[in-house]
Structure 1
Amino acid sequence: MIEQIRVIITDDNSFVREGMKIILNSYEEFNVLATFQNGKEAVDYCMENEVDVALLDIRMPVMDGVEATKVLTENSTAKPLILTTFDDDDYILEAIQNGAKGYLLKNNDPEQIRDAIKMVHKGQNVMQNIVLDKIKLNLIKKTEALKINKALFTDREIGVMELVAKGFSNREISKELYISEGTVANYISTILSKANLKHRTKIAIYYLTGKAE
């Protein structure tokens, strides 16, 4: 009997979630253990069960794929594999830094999805060239435009700074990034400390001008 790869699927879109389950169940080498609608549910499950590969969407409520990837990498044996769209460039970079073993587009052919999961299970990284090229181009554009000291901050912190500069409240930022308001507050406190700023208004000025005063 073939040894099956134990997989979980996490996506807040039920159509994507159930569609992926049908695809994977059509292959005898996979055992889809469960499906979830947010990262916290996936993390909780992996803490109690043996999972080989965790398929994770990026943008989800409660806990997104970036945070879930970090927790799973540090606290479980599950290998995170990101499901992405072309709009997720910033999140993908941070997910990879957090330990994601690769990423694939949601519109891939079933055979490509199957092969990607098998490669990740074997310890290999999966990075599609079409997505990688787009991320590189996006990084180049942002690097040229930003005036802040980028070495001080993570990609997510820079993303929070950008939204603060646009006038977003903590609640609006939490909705935009699919993280809790408490997490937003923690990011802002970290940014203030790193840049030696006294209040959030200064964050906007710093982000736009590169000057702390």
Structure 2
Amino acid sequence: MTENASAAATPLRVLLVDDHAMVRSGFRMMLSVEEDLEVVGEAANGAEAVVVARDVRPDVVLMDVQMPVLDGIEATRRLVAEDLGRVVILTTFDRDDYLFDALDAGASGFLLKNAEPEQLVEAVRVVGTGSGILAPEVTRRVIERMTGERPAPPRPAPPGLERLTDREREVLVLVGRGLSNGEVARELFLGEATVKTHVSSCLAKLHLRDRVQAVVLAHQAGLITPAED
């Protein structure tokens, strides 16, 4: 456990959503040993997730995509609309198109179902403290599909884009390509703390919740072309 996690006054509250009880049980075992995390509920489908979330008010929701009654995408949209927790989508890559829909619905992160326990725990902590997270494999796979097999016409430039400095725009483009803060720092010969400041400024000026939304915006606004990826 990290020092910051140990110092947390209140455990992050987690809701597990998956139609397979064994999967939920596995995630519960992974998270229950962490003192700064608390599993406060489970749901077997999206509709049930919304009901449970209204009751337990989780900080983070680990959300499967393919479920009966109500899928994870629509459930994410409803949870975000009611501010019932930040959603991390768990994916197996079998339907990449779901990822784009979930991003539009407001998901704060993506993680592979076969991720190591440490990755799952870290994802919950990162998203629960207000940031977004994309597994590197997910980022690159999504970008490949977005720029290759699923080209889409650029949308009108979002409000605030003209307020970015040249450096902030450079940082936004690299974040949109899936680079971490450390990778952006090496690419631009900057300190990682400086990159973090630029990312925060971009999010504030563009009224984005996290870097996950920044990835989507960079592509939808036409800031990144297939050649750049």
TM range (shorter): 0.5 to 0.7
Is the counterpart of residue 26 in structure 1 residue 72 in structure 2? no
Structure 1 residue 85, shift from structure 2 partner? 0.7
Alignment-derived partner of residue 105 in structure 1: 112
Alignment-derived partner of residue 15 in structure 2: 8
RMSD: 2.0
> Over residues 128-166 of structure 1, what are the superposed CA-to-partner deviations in whole Å (9 max), with x where a residue is unaligned?
12111112222334336x9xx898xxxxxxxxxxxxxxx
Alignment-derived partner of residue 127 in structure 2: 120
> Percent identical across equivalent pairs?
35
In 2, distance between residues paired with 1:143 and 1:53? 30
Q: Which of 20, 44, 64 is the aligned partner of 1:57?
A: 64
The answer to whether the Cα contact below 8 Å between 2:43 and 2:52 also exists between their aligned partners in 1 is no
Structure 1 residue 92, shift from structure 2 partner? 1.0
Q: Which runs of 4+ in 1 moved over 3 A?
A: none
Alignment-derived partner of residue 81 in structure 1: 88
Greater radius of gyration (CA): 1
> Over residues 73-115 of structure 1, what are the superposed CA-to-partner deviations in whole Å (9 max), with x where a residue is unaligned?
0013311111111113111111111110011011111111111
> Over residues 43-69 of structure 1, what are the superposed CA-to-partner deviations in whole Å (9 max), with x where a residue is unaligned?
011122321101100111111110011
The answer to whether the Cα contact below 8 Å between 2:18 and 2:24 also exists between their aligned partners in 1 is yes
Alignment-derived partner of residue 77 in structure 2: 70
Q: 1:137 to 1:12 in 2, by over 3 A?
A: same
In the alignment, structure 1 segments of 5+ residues that lack a partner are 152-213
Structure 1 residue 120, shift from structure 2 partner? 0.3
Structure 1 residue 36, shift from structure 2 partner? 1.2
Alignment-derived partner of residue 174 in structure 2: none
In the alignment, structure 2 segments of 5+ residues that lack a partner are 1-7, 156-229
The answer to whether the Cα contact below 8 Å between 1:14 and 1:37 also exists between their aligned partners in 2 is yes
Alignment-derived partner of residue 44 in structure 2: 37
TM-score by length of 1: 0.65
Is the counterpart of residue 134 in structure 1 residue 160 in structure 2? no
